[in-house]
């Protein structure tokens, strides 16, 4: 396996802070679903940089847009606008208008956590003092900055950084009664994922998001949906909340939005966005021409190939293939965000390691679940090839 020079994160020659553990591979180049490491070994990438490269590696349409923009204009500060940012914002607003039925406005960020920070600040300004609490679910993941970490429903991740910023409350995932008991007049917003990604690929139970929508309407709280992992066609819909037919007030996104170019956005219904005034929020790189050129290329290309339909079709095919393996008990998720529940006694991290040896990249999202997030452009042949590698590894570990 390559990457030997990095395999001890704490030794003197490693230039990275030791927050990620030893990298499994050092990857040099990619094309579509495939990547090659520094030793020239080929892998099928069924993780897509955690739902980022949804149009595949080195996508020619996105690469062309980035290349052209890089030699035209990169950045101009927020005292000015640029045609790329305007065009990309209009395209994202069109998608959200179709999905929610509301006109809205957005703020471009550089990451998922920043998109959620923007949403949290918007909720606090909208709610006002005394009504600033944000309710989110246990098992959720909303980011690594202090406020988004506080919203993240994983107490073990808070513990080393206590005290957390105040004004966050967590409820059991999927339990509408518990969330009903928690949302009172002090709550500005509920922040929720359509499918918990990092939490183990846990889809919202049918009617859960609808129930939260009704509750937010009753209590005058905002409904914020974190679509950072599920957005841009991944679930078979443009946005995961469409699976439950709800219309949120605020939607956060990133990951697949730039196909690898770091960019995100916080979108809000127009009357909600209107609580922000000049000076309330900002970022040097918000809406930079380079990143927004990538966003337009991604959306145009996803529309052209009907990426949500591909996710639905390929997701159904992959599920059918996986479920035939005797060591896989069930497959959950939607479209091409899938979690394969392993039979009792099998260890997902161990299987993940063995799959890397075979040439398949996926992720052990917990001790008993493998998570698959292939590009939405994955071919049927690649699904079959990946399934054969999984079958071999599961056979080897069970015998
Ligand atoms: C990845 C992710 C984030 C954080 O995004 P970053 O770009 O890593 O800051 C937030 N929410 C969800 C649901 C995610 O999957």
- What domains can you pick out in the chain, each with its CATH number? 27-58+306-398 (3.90.1150.10), 73-305 (3.40.640.10)
* Residue 94 confidence (pLDDT) above 60: yes
- Mean pLDDT value of segment 94-120: 98
Q: Is the CB of 59 under 6 A from ligand 1?
A: no
Greatest CA span in the chain, whole angstroms? 64
Q: What is the per-residue pLDDT for 3?
A: 41
Q: What is the per-residue pLDDT for 397?
A: 94
Q: Is the CB of 348 under 6 A from ligand 1?
A: no
Band of the pLDDT at 2, cuts 50, 70, 90?
very low
Q: Is the CB of 141 under 6 A from ligand 1?
A: yes
Average pLDDT, the chain: 96
- Asked if residues 229 and 255 have their Cβ atoms less than 8 Å apart, the reply is yes
Q: Is the CB of 341 under 6 A from ligand 1?
A: no
Band of the pLDDT at 56, cuts 50, 70, 90?
very high
Q: Is the CB of 111 under 6 A from ligand 1?
A: yes
Angle between helices 83-100 and 289-305 (to 10 degrees): 40
Query: Residue 18: CB partners within 8 Å, gap ≥ 6?
Result: 9, 10
pTM (2 d.p.): 0.96
Q: What is the pLDDT of residues 239-276, one digit of tens each?
A: 999 999 999 999 999 999 999 999 999 999 999 999 99
Residue to mutate (ligand 1; options 229, 241, 266; most atoms within 8 A of CB): 229
Q: Cα 392 from chain centroid?
A: 29
Of 2-6, 166-170, 295-299, give the lowest mean pLDDT range.
2-6
Closest CA to 33 of 354, 295, 384: 384
Q: Is the CB of 112 under 6 A from ligand 1?
A: yes
Name the β-bridge partners of 338.
Answer: 333, 372
Q: Is the CB of 143 under 6 A from ligand 1?
A: yes
Q: Is the CB of 229 under 6 A from ligand 1?
A: yes
- Distance of CA 112 from the midpoint of ligand 1 (Å): 4
Band of the pLDDT at 5, cuts 50, 70, 90?
very low
- Distance of CA 158 from the midpoint of ligand 1 (Å): 16
Band of the pLDDT at 96, cuts 50, 70, 90?
very high
Residue closest by Cα to atom 15 of ligand 1: 229
One DSSP character per residue, 12-80 reads TT--S-TTS-S-S--EEEEEBTEEEETT--EEEESSHHHHT-TT-BT-HHHHHHHHHHHTT-----TTS
Q: What is the per-residue pLDDT for 399?
A: 82
Band of the pLDDT at 13, cuts 50, 70, 90?
confident
């Amino acid at each position: 396996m390559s990457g030997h020079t990095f395999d001890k994160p704490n030794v003197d020659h490693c230039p990275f802070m030791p927050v990620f553990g030893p990298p499994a591979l050092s990857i040099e180049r990619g094309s579509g679903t495939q990547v090659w490491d520094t030793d020239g070994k080929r892998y099928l990438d069924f993780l897509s940089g955690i739902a980022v490269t949804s149009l595949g590696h080195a996508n020619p349409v996105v690469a062309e847009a980035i290349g052209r923009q890089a030699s035209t204009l990169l950045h101009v500060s927020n005292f000015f606008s640029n045609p790329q940012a305007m065009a990309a914002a209009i395209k994202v607003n069109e998608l959200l208008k179709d999905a929610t039925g509301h006109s809205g406005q957005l703020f471009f960020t550089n990451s998922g956590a920043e998109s959620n920070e923007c949403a949290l600040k918007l909720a606090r300004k909208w709610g006002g003092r005394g009504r600033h609490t944000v309710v989110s679910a246990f098992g959720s993941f909303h980011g690594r900055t202090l406020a988004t970490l506080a919203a993240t429903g994983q107490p073990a991740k808070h513990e080393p950084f206590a005290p957390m910023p105040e004004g966050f409350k967590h409820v059991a995932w999927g339990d509408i009664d518990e969330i009903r008991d928690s949302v009172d007049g002090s709550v500005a917003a509920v922040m929720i994922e359509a499918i918990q990604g990092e939490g183990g690929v846990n889809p919202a139970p049918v009617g859960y998001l609808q129930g939260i929508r009704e509750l937010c309407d009753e209590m005058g709280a905002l409904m914020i949906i974190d679509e950072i992992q599920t957005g841009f066609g991944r679930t078979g819909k443009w946005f995961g909340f469409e699976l439950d037919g709800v219309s949120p007030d605020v939607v956060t996104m990133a990951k697949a939005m730039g196909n690898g170019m770091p960019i995100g956005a916080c979108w809000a219904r127009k009357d909600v966005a209107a609580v922000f005034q000049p000076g309330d929020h900002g970022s040097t790189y918000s809406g930079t021409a380079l990143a927004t050129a990538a966003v337009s290329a991604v959306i145009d290309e996803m529309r052209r190939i009907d990426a949500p339909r591909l996710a639905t079709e390929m997701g159904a095919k992959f599920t059918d293939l996986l479920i035939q393996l005797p060591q896989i008990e069930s497959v959950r998720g939607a479209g091409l965000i899938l979690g394969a529940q392993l039979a009792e006694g099998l260890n997902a991290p161990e299987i993940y390691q063995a799959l890397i040896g075979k040439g398949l990249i996926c992720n052990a999202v917990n001790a008993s679940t493998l998570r698959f997030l292939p590009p939405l452009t994955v071919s049927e042949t690649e699904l079959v090839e990946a399934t054969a590698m999984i079958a071999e590894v599961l056979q080897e570990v069970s015998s």
